[in-house]
A and B are shown apart, each in its own frame.
Chain A
Amino acid sequence: MNFDFSEEQNLIRDSIAKWAAAEYDFDKRRAALKAPDGWRKNWATIAELGLLAAPLPEAHGGLGGGPLDVFVVMEEVGKALVVEPYVQTVVLGAGALKLAGSEAQQSEHLPAIASGERIVAFAQAEPKSRWALNDVSTTAKKDGAGYVLNGQKSVVIGGPQADHLLVSARTGGAERDAKGISLFLIPKSLSGVSTRDYPTVDDFSASEIYFENVALGREHLIGAEGEALSTIEQIVDEANAALCAEAVGTLRLQHSLTLEYTRTRKQFGRAIGEFQVIQHRLVDMFMEVEQSMSMALLATLKLDTPERAKHVSAAKVQIGKAVRFVGQSAIQLHGGMGVTDEMRVGHYFKRATMIDAQFGNADHHLKRYMALSRQAA
């Protein structure tokens, strides 16, 4: 057993931290959020730092890293509250290509993703699907050599920035069937694709995406027709592991900011951190952060094993619990300041909260964990 990160991974971590300190601090981040194209410069830097290339295969312009490299990136992403669509492009978009894309599709897209030219968003959830990956009403009907795409996708994170969409659509079967779901990687500019863009409560951007008789070619299909559910499940597990690492970054910051605040904030003639009730709360937060780190790491290290799903769900349950307890405690111990927009801590709280709701909350994953345990028994 060895719990060390590699030298390369430590270098990645340092380079992000350095960039974040210089170019992505609270005020610069806020300024970039307000500028209509503020994210472009950040995306270029993310590409230059090699973060996009890190987990991609060397044969296609990548650096040949794996899930642990993504973990390192995402923990720092969490600490800096990076809102650019990294998970969408690298974990979901490139992930689907790596798992199911043809050699031609990989050569076409992966180098462009690695260099920062291609941004992908995952158009998967639908207005009524909640977190069920098999619940797909969007249809791709066979039409000559290609398909015609119709339907609506909701809350597509990174939709406004993306130039390509990874779309789950039904090529056969009924709305909730496991069979009959296919994946397509399509340019957003195709005729019949319309979007409505909006900000999210945690400063990301998202789109509602409408497909109206969009003509797709055979070359847009990723993997075998009607057999995409297992690919979707795997990339969503990988995305969830990445989001757990991001959550750990936000949790660490919420804890350290709160620790700092309680050491300096004085009431009743002393730092409030001297009160035992505050100390115990800080200790409980600390324990939840460490437990979360452990579970996020475990899930990451098990991604390429048959126990992947169970460990990812377990991590998501722990994270769901921690984002509530640590986040609510961080705000509470900051007092009124914690509820203001000007304090950093609240922004971590908001992001962490929304991570719980992405790709299944704690309840969803507890159910999945129990179902998987029953199957194994």
Chain B
Amino acid sequence: MNLDFSPEELAFRDEVRAFIKDNYPAGVREKINRDALAKEDYLAWHKILGKKGWSAPAWPKEYGGTGWTATQRYIWLEENARGETIPPLPFGVSMVGPVIYTFGTPEQKQRFLPGILSGDVWWCQGYSEPGAGSDLASLKTRAVREGDHYIVNGQKTWTTLAQFADWGFFLVRTDPNVKQQEGISFLLIDMKSPGVTVKPIIMLDGGHEVNDVFLDNVKVPVENRIYEENKGWTCAKFLLAHERSGIAGVARSKRQVEKLKAIAKAERADDGRPLIEDEDFTRKIAELEIDLSALEMTELRVLANEQAGKGPGVESSLLKIKGTEIQQRLTELTMEAVGNYAAPYFRGFPAQGTNDFPIGPDYAHQAAPTYFNWRKASIYGGSNEIQRNIIAKMVLGL
């Protein structure tokens, strides 16, 4: 066993670091700080990576992956976190893409994978429904076959960034008369189809990030179904396992720890010394770092298993729980660090073209809203309670 990078891996790290430095669009980074991202900002880096052939490192090479080892992918994530890039959104590259290359027909692969790789097609996820959250298999959105089409009716919710989406992947009920899991199909739906309506849900931080999606007699060609009719649950479970393996967010959390330390250096404790010298606060940062270090090592062990062909398994539930707990703790400590300046609320501030000067330090502006917003992390992608059920059942055999 050996944790050191080889000379080749170090050379790879230098190469990707230089590539990010030379190619990442600076304007996007500024907009993140102002909480003012537009559709093209989310896609900017994705498109650059698409041209380079680096937008989907985890995919098999034959479908457009990079052929990197697990270690190289780890380095890639680290360097992107270091450069604070907006990575390609997960809905295409990490979610529907792997479902399509795993379960799709050759025609479907040819039709949909290139747009995912290039970033030309924006995907969204139609899974949860108002009555089907943790109990996803109880979903009610109905698809009835009529000749070479399905007619789809129902409502999906928590659909992230659907306001920008070109296509969505949906779980729909095609047979209501069998066991719940056995009557679900996986459909790809053009979001411009007549009968699709997207309505915003405003979050606690005031942001519009998720949506309700209403489907009213939407006509979907049968050729847009992935895998067999009524076998959609297989795709769904496969996708959820994939979603979880990226959810630990170790590299990003490590970057956040660095930022938190920088804030603690700039802020003063009550005794006038830098907050970073405050025993209580430093202890909290240290405890967090230790948790994060453990999670990183655990994730590397899981990746090594995956590399050995064992696939993302139930360990991914562990990564999801611990990863989101750490992310949430980071937002909490960041809010705590900024003291009184956590209170002012400036959404999209400062407005462009005004001479308003900001109130308080820049790093404080999003601290409290991020803490509020990030409570979602222990809820989405299968709540942490559900993840514990999975571990209890699948790992511990309870």
CB distance from A368 to the nearest CB of B (A): 9
CB contact under 8 A between A201 and B133, given known A130-B268, A336-B158: no
Say whether B376 contacts A130, CB under 8 Å: no
| CB of B38 closer than 8 Å to a CB of A | no
- A257 at the A/B interface (Cβ < 8 Å)? no
B147 within 8 A of partner (CB)? no
Q: How far is the CA of A327 from the CA of B256 in the complex (A)?
A: 23
A256 at interface by CB-CB < 8 Å: no
With the chains together, A354 CA to B380 CA distance in Å? Answer: 25
Q: Which of B346, B359, B360, B373 has the most CB of A within 10 A?
A: B359
Smallest beta-carbon distance A177→chain B, Å: 12
Determine the residue in chain A with the shortest Cβ distance to B372.
Answer: A350
B359 and A336 within 8 A (CB): no
Residue of A nearest to B376 (CB): A339
Flag if A339 contacts B203 (CB, 8 Å): yes
In Å, the complex CA distance between A322 and B334 comes to 19
Residue B196 interfacial (CB < 8 Å): no
Question: Measured between alpha carbons, how far is A144 from B368 in the docked complex, in Å?
Answer: 45
Give the chain B neighbours of A266 by CB distance below 8 A.
131
- The answer to whether A340 and B201 have CB atoms under 8 Å apart is yes
| Consensus secondary structure, chain A interface | mixed
Please determine whether B368 and A125 come into contact, CB atoms closer than 8 angstroms. no
Number of interface residues of A (CB under 8 A): 49
With A and B bound together, what is the CA distance between A364 and B335 in angstroms? 15
**B336–A361 contact, CB under 8 A?**
yes
Q: Is B271 an interface residue (CB 8 A)?
A: yes
**CB <8 Å contact, A335 and B379:** yes
Q: Contact between A357 and B342 (Cβ–Cβ < 8 Å)? A: yes
Known: A130-B340, A324-B332, A336-B158. A349 touches B379 (CB 8 A): no
Judge if A341 is at the interface, Cβ distance under 8 Å: yes
| B contact residues around A375 at 8 Å (CB) | none
Interface residues of A in 79-130 (CB under 8 A from B): 125, 127-128, 130
Contact at A354–B340, with CB atoms within 8 Å?
no
B328 CB contacts on chain A under 8 angstroms: 328
**Once the chains are docked, how many angstroms separate the CA of A202 from the CA of B376?**
18
**Residue in contact with A346 in the complex, picked from B204, B345, B383, CB distance below 8 Å:** B204
Q: Check if A154 is an interface residue, CB within 8 A of chain B.
A: yes
A339 and B281: CB pair below 8 A? Answer: no
**B306 at interface, CB cutoff 8 A:** no
Stretch from A5-13, A39-47, A192-200 that touches the partner: A192-200
Kindly state whether residue B375 has any CB partner on chain A within 8 Å.
yes
Let me know if A208 is at the binding interface, CB within 8 A: yes
B202 adjacent to A130 (CB under 8 Å): no
- In the complex, which residue of chain A has the Cβ closest to the Cβ of B384? A332
Residues of B within 8 A of A155 (CB): 340-341, 343-344, 360
Per-residue CB proximity of B259-277 to A under 8 Å, as 1/0?
Answer: 0000000011111100000
Report the Cα distance A131→B306, complex, angstroms.
50
Contact of B133 with A277 in the complex, beta carbons under 8 Å? no
Q: Which chain A residues border B66 with CB–CB below 8 Å? A: none
Is there contact, CB below 8 Å, between B343 and A357? yes
CB distance from B364 to the nearest CB of A (A): 10
Residues of chain A within 8 A (CB-CB) of B269 are 130
Structural contact, B133 and A331, CB atoms closer than 8 A: no
Contact of B371 among A131, A176, A353 (CB under 8 A): A353
Find the A residue at minimum CB distance from B342: A357
* Contact status B138-A206, CB under 8 Å: no
Instruction: Kindly state the separation between the CA atoms of A338 and B383 in the bound complex, as whole angstroms.
Output: 13
Q: Is the CB of B204 within 8 A of A350?
A: yes
B317 within 8 A of A: no
Cβ B272 vs Cβ A132 within 8 A: yes
Q: A331-B375, A335-B133 are contacts. A201–B368 as well, Cβ < 8 Å?
A: yes
**B272–A176 CB distance below 8 A:** yes
Rounded to whole Å, the gap between the CB of A373 and the closest CB of chain B is 16
In the bound complex, do residue A154 and residue B340 qualify as a contact, i.e. CB atoms below 8 Å apart?
A: yes
CB contact list, A203-259 vs B, under 8 A: 204, 206, 208
- Docked-complex contact B343 and A277, CB < 8 angstroms: no
A328 CB contacts on chain B under 8 angstroms:
328, 375
Mark out the residues of chain A between 124 and 145 whose CB falls within 8 Å of any chain B CB in the assembled complex: 125, 127-128, 130-132, 135
B132 nearest in chain A by CB position: A267
Q: Which residues of A contact B373 (CB under 8 A)?
A: 339
Give the shortest distance, in Å, between A306 (CB) and chain B (any CB): 23
- B253 adjacent to chain A (CB < 8 Å): no
Contact A338 B203 (CB under 8 A): no
Q: 1/0 per position for A134-170, CB-CB distance to B under 8 A?
A: 0100000000000000000011010000000000000
Q: When the two chains form their complex, are residues B342 and A201 in contact, meaning their CB atoms are under 8 A apart?
A: yes
Report, nearest first, the 10 A-B pairs whose CB atoms are least far apart.
Answer: A267-B135, A341-B202, A132-B270, A200-B343, A155-B340, A201-B345, A346-B204, A201-B368, A331-B375, A130-B339
Between A and B, 5 residue pairs with Cβ closer than 8 Å are A132-B272, A202-B343, A267-B133, A268-B138, A336-B157
**Knowing that A339-B203, A350-B204 are A-B contacts, what are 5 other residue pairs whose CB atoms are under 8 Å apart, sorted by A's residue number?**
A135-B270, A201-B342, A336-B380, A340-B203, A363-B280
A-side residues, CB < 8 A to B, are 125, 127-128, 130-132, 135, 154-155, 157, 176, 196, 198-202, 204, 206, 208, 266-268, 272, 277-278, 324, 328, 331-332, 335-336, 338-342, 346, 349-350, 353-354, 357, 360-361, 363-364, 366-367
